[in-house]
A and B are shown apart, each in its own frame.
Chain A
Amino acid sequence: MGLFGALVAKLSRSKISDLDWDQARRELLASDIGPALTDHVIEAAKKIKGDDARAGLLSALSELISSKPRGLDLQPPLSVFLIVGINGTGKTTSAAKLAHHLKATGVSVALGAGDTFRAAAVEQLQTWGSRIGVDVISGKEQSEPASVAFDAVQFARDNQRQLLIVDTAGRLHNKSDLMNELGKIKRVIEKIAPVTEVLLVLDATTGQNALTQAKVFSESVGVTGLILTKMDGSAKGGFALAVENHMSIPIKFIGTGEAIGDFQPFDSAAYLSSLLDE
């Protein structure tokens, strides 16, 4: 059942019982959009009158969505995208998927293996790189990530790439030394080429902590978009609606599986109606 399920059908009728509203509230809460936004949406829904309740609800939900563009900012001659997030959300996989996605549209891409911390993270990206035919620039394990990023951006510039995607180590947002390291990586890259996108990878199974993650990562490196991963599971990632609403950071892509092609640009209309209809 989607967010409102049965409620939508009942909205156009005259009477909705408290029980129905409670059911709707429970479903909203279960999607992780959070208690505050749940109350907000319920209030909006209660005001909707008339025959086309579904359209009314959709428009109420659409107002929560960020109006910022969802396209990627590619500036010639060379742009750099930074992939950031906490541990285990799927940064390395998303970096590879994004590279593959953009390569297919004709962009010349290179990958920078900036996760020098986790064991075998570099090899993981290299494996992806060789599968999708994209160069992966890496340093030694445990080496300084900013210096790897610098080497990577030099490589991208010297080899006339249009885009460098830099994977970074997972870091919990409450570790400020690691957050500072991220700022340093960004500054070092920008000596050579602009970082035009900072993409925060959020795991759809996360709860309200995702909002804190979005807030703190934004404060330290200016997040320009979200990649919502593990959307093929049972979790709906409702917190993303709250992130869009409170922070106006648009969801740009969603990850829907382990294969390289399981990755799509975010379609807000489809997302919202899937919340209502499913």
Chain B
Amino acid sequence: MFESLSSKFSSAFSSLRSRGKITASDIDQVCNEIYQGLLEADVALGVVESFIEKVKSKSLSALPTLQSGSNQAQAIFDIVNAELIAILGGEARRVRLAKNPPTVIMLAGLQGAGKTTLAGKLAKYFKDLGDTPLLVASDLQRPNAVNQLQIVGESISVPVFAPEPGNGVGNPVEVAKGGLAFARSKLHNIVIVDTAGRLGVDDEMMKQASDIRDAINPDEILFVVDAMIGQDAVKTAQAFKVGVGFDGVVLTKLDGDARGGAALSIAVLTGKPIMFASTGEKLGDFDLFHPDRMASRILGMGDVATLAEQAKKALDGESSARLEEKFVKGEDFTLEDFLEQLEAMSKMGSMGKLLSMLPGSGAMKKQIDNFDESEIVRTKAIVQSMTPQERIEPKILNGSRRARIAAGSGRKVQEVNALVDKFSAAQKMMKQMRNGGGMPPGMALPPGMPAAPRMGKGPSTPPKKKSRSGNPAKRAVEENS
């Protein structure tokens, strides 16, 4: 995701970095490149213009205070980064829970944005947090939307309030009201109301949405929007803002290759935070939206923070601590650790997604998208066919050992070879990351820039680089993330 935008940014900055002394015209040029990149990424024109204007004026006013050398380019980079974070909404915002449960969440959006799937994902998210969500089927328009929600609910064992068959039959306002009453009587603490897709220009349907809103008085109205939306984001967001009003935004289909301009546009145009990101068809493919991390992704810095968080979630406490310790101490990862990770990864979701969070992953975008998930199973089989010693010391793997492993795992010798090669490459990459060179060659980091976003809080945090950002906005984010 976002790789095109991030490659635009990197090329703009790499030319900037090659300059000895940056002049006002260099800044103009970088701004022009960013301007084109943002437009091609579907960022709304007005948003592009105000973004460029801010970056330009901040850069120009910072210029005289900068000494010559590559930290000039870095300072400009920091300005762009801070501006991106500011646009994307500063910090992640969570759902505001009602003082008196249930907390009522209403979803609204265009047809095909992904509301029904999202309803399921949200329900699963809350259920995993220990809440007792109820899904309410108020999309009575689209054929079998009710049915779809029931199937989704069943698959995550969340009850669905669906008194009406849908397909044009029933009153969605009554269903929403009934759902709320039902939730109260059964003590569900979260109510998620799915509604029909509607176009911003459809006054009648917008009225229906505001009627639903008035009937249930939701704590949060979430505007669900497809990450691939184009310039129409301006009109649609405005229509929903006026027509029904919303408190937060959910971006869906972020696992596509849209350049992500919508994220920027919507955040600016609505002034509402993007709260969640939906990144796949599985009900677990869903996460809080972190503006700072998204900015890093756009700038090609990867999203190690999310990666680390997911790893923490999946790995049990003990092995997670052990891995972090290894990472900090600079010990090598062994195939034994690798196997442990593979097992944890199966719990964490798709490998492609994990890989795409690594710094510089834009360059391996194709491979990541095409990652064959069953490869994990096959890889596990190969590693499990090794002796413990082989796992710790892959060097001893000679021809006959490899043949034995191949036979044991039911794979070909070539595959065993490929795995061993890939593993040593991965080992190298880990070392690089640790030593501060996150990105592959060609995207060299300027001095003074952190190798990767920090990995979390507490004692397990790797030693912080001494150079903290000189930009107050960025520093604030660093300290709060």
Contact = CB atoms under 8 A, between A and B. Distances in A.
Partners in one complex: yes
Interface of A: 26, 29-32, 34-35, 86-90, 117-121, 123-124, 127-128, 172-177, 203-210, 212, 230, 232-236, 239, 258
Contacts of B201: 232-234
A237 to B, nearest CB: 9
A207 B229 contact: yes
Contact of A87 (B114, B143, B200, B230): B114
A120 B256 contact: no
Given A34-B40, A176-B369, A205 B110 contact: yes
A119 B148 contact: yes
A232 B151 CA distance: 30
Interface in B112-155: 112-114, 117, 141-145, 147-148, 150-152, 155
Interface in B53-95: none
The 9 A-B pairs of least Cβ separation, nearest first, read: A207-B230, A88-B112, A207-B42, A235-B232, A120-B148, A119-B151, A127-B143, A233-B199, A120-B147
Contacts of A233: 110, 199-202, 232, 236
A32 to B, nearest CB: 4
Nearest to B114: A88
Contacts of A119: 147-148, 151-152, 155
B259 A208 contact: yes
A66 to B, nearest CB: 21
A237 B258 CA distance: 16
B370 interface: yes
A206 B228 contact: yes
A127 B143 CA distance: 7
A121 B145 CA distance: 9
B229 A120 contact: no
Interface string B36-52: 10011110010000000
Contacts of B226: 88, 203, 205-206
Given A29-B231, A120-B144, A177-B372, A234 B199 contact: yes
A236 B230 CA distance: 10
A209 B228 contact: yes
A172 B253 contact: yes
B209 to A, nearest CB: 15
Contact of B236 (A87, A118, A205, A239): A205
28 contacts: A30-B234, A32-B230, A35-B40, A87-B112, A87-B281, A88-B112, A88-B114, A118-B117, A120-B147, A120-B151, A121-B144, A121-B148, A123-B144, A172-B253, A174-B255, A204-B232, A207-B42, A207-B229, A207-B262, A208-B259, A209-B228, A209-B257, A209-B259, A230-B111, A232-B202, A233-B232, A234-B236, A258-B141
A89 to B, nearest CB: 6
B167 interface: yes
Contact of B41 (A26, A208, A258): A208
B239 interface: yes
A88 B42 contact: no
A121 B152 CA distance: 12
Nearest to B368: A174
B118 to A, nearest CB: 11
A81 B111 CA distance: 24
A239 B230 contact: yes
Nearest to A205: B232
Nearest to A172: B256
B113 A88 contact: yes
A208 B230 contact: yes
Contacts of A206: 226, 228-230
A89 B199 CA distance: 13
B148 A234 contact: no
Given A88-B226, A124-B144, A209 B40 contact: no
A248 B257 CA distance: 23
A205 B370 contact: no
B256 A31 contact: no
B378 interface: no
Nearest to B369: A174
A209 B40 CA distance: 9
B111 A90 contact: yes
B235 interface: yes
Nearest to B110: A205
Contacts of B142: 124, 258
Contacts of A29: 39, 45, 231
Contacts of B152: 119
B218 interface: no
Nearest to B166: A127
Contacts of B233: 207
A40 B181 CA distance: 58
Given A121-B148, A234-B232, 12 more contacts: A31-B231, A87-B114, A87-B253, A120-B150, A123-B143, A124-B147, A172-B256, A173-B257, A177-B372, A207-B42, A209-B42, A230-B199
Contacts of A230: 110-112, 199
Interface string B231-252: 1111110010000000000000
Of B141, B144, B155, B253, which is in contact with the most chain A CB atoms at under 10 Å from its CB? B144
A174 to B, nearest CB: 4
B172 interface: no
A258 B202 CA distance: 11
Contacts of B41: 208
A209 B110 contact: no
A187 to B, nearest CB: 20
A205 B230 CA distance: 6
Nearest to B46: A26
Nearest to B167: A127
Of A89, A172, A230, A239, which is in contact with the most chain B CB atoms at under 10 Å from its CB? A172
